[in-house]
């Protein structure tokens, strides 16, 4: 059966009224990762789409838990230990029965597996898996994650009604990994482009906070410190840039990105760019940070859908990125794309971008924002999830 590699627009089926659907989301934690952010964006739009959302975290709250509370979304943290598979499935099953869901949406491998086990005691409640990563790499990912993914592949013909992938790269990788190809469906992440947008006031304010002159060229990398994000390649590329541009500065944001990170500080020291970098750690004001920047960069070795790349583009920034995941598709012709693990080529692309005039970069940035508005809006993503839930609830009610 051929795969449809574009977002499906499902017709509105007959069945239970969509405003009555109760969707329970199961996710591993609620830290500041791509899955957690997409989940939060999805449930924040739920009321206006008539859906009722609640969230169950398996192992931890994290930053996004407070955002759910602010939105008035029902949230439970089971605080499961890593070894709690059977007892964890039993506890999760009890919670699911209390919530009486019409749809169970799980996010990422461990929640996909545990949520499927917990749902066995529920009748006529479709389970939807959510795949977030482009591919798994033994040099990067934990053995437990890889084996969980393999187990999910083995049971994918039995449990989920649909397997949502956030990127074309994720869909293809999991098709090859043995996931049931008839259930794979692409729904790209969506951004609220009214939040992520150019903002001259924030540009001036943030630059003042960081002690940056109005005309200082600023390159921003927003990524947690993890091998998949390949900060080593970024640092080596940035070193080449800094030798040619004496005034360039780099903003680095994300979990683990701080002066207390010895490995990162060693990379920056080796690259001789410590004094050129602002290490801001995890931020909840990324639209402001991007507004103060001139170029968004991604150095990832592995990706699904790189949210930060799209967010920077939505803020009007031209992009320089590696070809990990769907990065090349996201950027299109509005920036530069280089191979992964290639600091020379990444550095050269950054230099080419910085050597453009400010007017040329601004023009690319406007095109980049329009590409996000046209292809990756939050409204489109929410509509795709909503139509999927309605379709499945209608089918199970027949």
Number of helical H runs and strand E runs in the chain? 15, 13
Contact predicate 141/135, CB 8 Å = no
Q: Which residues pair with 131 in a beta bridge?
A: 165
The token pair that represents 79 in the structure block: 């605080």
Residue pLDDT, tens place only, 175-230: 999 999 999 999 999 999 999 999 999 999 999 999 999 999 999 999 999 999 99
Residue pLDDT, tens place only, 106-153: 999 999 999 999 998 888 899 999 998 877 778 777 888 899 999 999
Counting Cα atoms < 13 Å in the Cβ hemisphere of 142 gives 7
The token pair that represents 74 in the structure block: 């029902």
**Alpha carbon distance 49, 58 (integer Å):** 26
**Alpha carbon distance 167, 159 (integer Å):** 22
Element housing 89 (H / E) = helix 86-99
Q: Which domains does the chain have, with CATH numbers?
A: 18-190+377-397 (3.40.50.2000), 200-375 (3.40.50.2000)
Residue 209 has a CB neighbour count (10 Å cut-off) of 11
**Which pLDDT score is estimated for 263?**
97
Contact predicate 234/347, CB 8 Å = no
**Which pLDDT score is estimated for 4?**
34
Q: Give the rounded percent of residues in the chain with a pLDDT score beyond 70.
A: 93
The token pair that represents 282 in the structure block: 């995890």
**Alpha carbon distance 150, 139 (integer Å):** 16
**Alpha carbon distance 231, 229 (integer Å):** 6
**Alpha carbon distance 10, 164 (integer Å):** 14
Mean pLDDT of 65-86: 82
Mean pLDDT of 234-260: 96
Mean pLDDT of 385-397: 87
């Amino acid at each position: 059966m051929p795969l449809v590699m574009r977002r499906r627009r499902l017709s509105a089926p007959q069945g239970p009224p969509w405003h009555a659907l109760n969707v329970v989301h199961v996710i591993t934690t609620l830290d500041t990762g791509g899955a957690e952010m997409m989940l939060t964006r999805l449930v924040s739009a739920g009321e206006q789409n008539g859906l009722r959302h609640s969230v169950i975290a398996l192992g931890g709250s994290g930053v996004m838990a407070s955002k759910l509370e602010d939105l008035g979304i029902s949230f439970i943290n089971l605080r499961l230990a890593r070894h709690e598979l059977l007892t964890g499935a039993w506890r999760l099953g009890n919670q699911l029965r209390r919530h009486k869901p019409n749809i169970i949406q799980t996010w990422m491998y461990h929640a996909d597996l545990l949520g499927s086990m917990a749902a066995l005691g529920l009748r006529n409640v479709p389970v939807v898996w959510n795949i977030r990563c482009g591919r798994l790499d033994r040099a990067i990912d934990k053995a437990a994650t890889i084996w969980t993914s393999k187990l999910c592949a083995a049971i994918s013909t039995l449990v989920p009604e649909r397997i949502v992938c956030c990127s074309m790269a994720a869909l293809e990788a999991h098709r090859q990994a043995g996931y049931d190809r008839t259930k794979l469906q692409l729904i790209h992440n969506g951004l609220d482009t009214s939040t992520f947008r150019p903002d001259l006031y924030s540009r001036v304010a943030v630059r003042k906070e960081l002690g940056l002159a109005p005309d200082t060229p600023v390159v921003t990398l927003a990524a947690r410190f993890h091998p998949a994000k390949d900060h080593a390649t970024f640092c080596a590329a940035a070193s080449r840039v800094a030798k040619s541009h004496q005034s360039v500065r780099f903003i680095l944001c994300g979990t683990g990105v701080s002066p207390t990170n010895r490995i990162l500080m060693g990379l920056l020291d080796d690259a001789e760019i410590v004094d050129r970098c602002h290490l801001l750690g995890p931020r909840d004001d990324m639209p402001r940070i991007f507004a103060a920047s001139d170029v968004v960069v991604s150095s990832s070795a592995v990706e699904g859908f790189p949210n930060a790349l799209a967010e920077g583009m939505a803020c009007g920034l031209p992009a320089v990125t590696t070809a990990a995941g769907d990065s090349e598709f996201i950027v299109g012709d509005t920036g530069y794309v280089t191979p992964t693990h290639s600091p020379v080529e990444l550095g050269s692309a950054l230099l080419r971008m910085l050597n453009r005039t400010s007017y040329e970069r601004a023009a690319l940035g406007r095109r980049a924002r329009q590409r996000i508005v046209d292809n990756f809006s939050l409204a489109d993503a929410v509509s795709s999830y909503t139509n999927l839930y309605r379709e499945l609830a209608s089918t199970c009610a027949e």
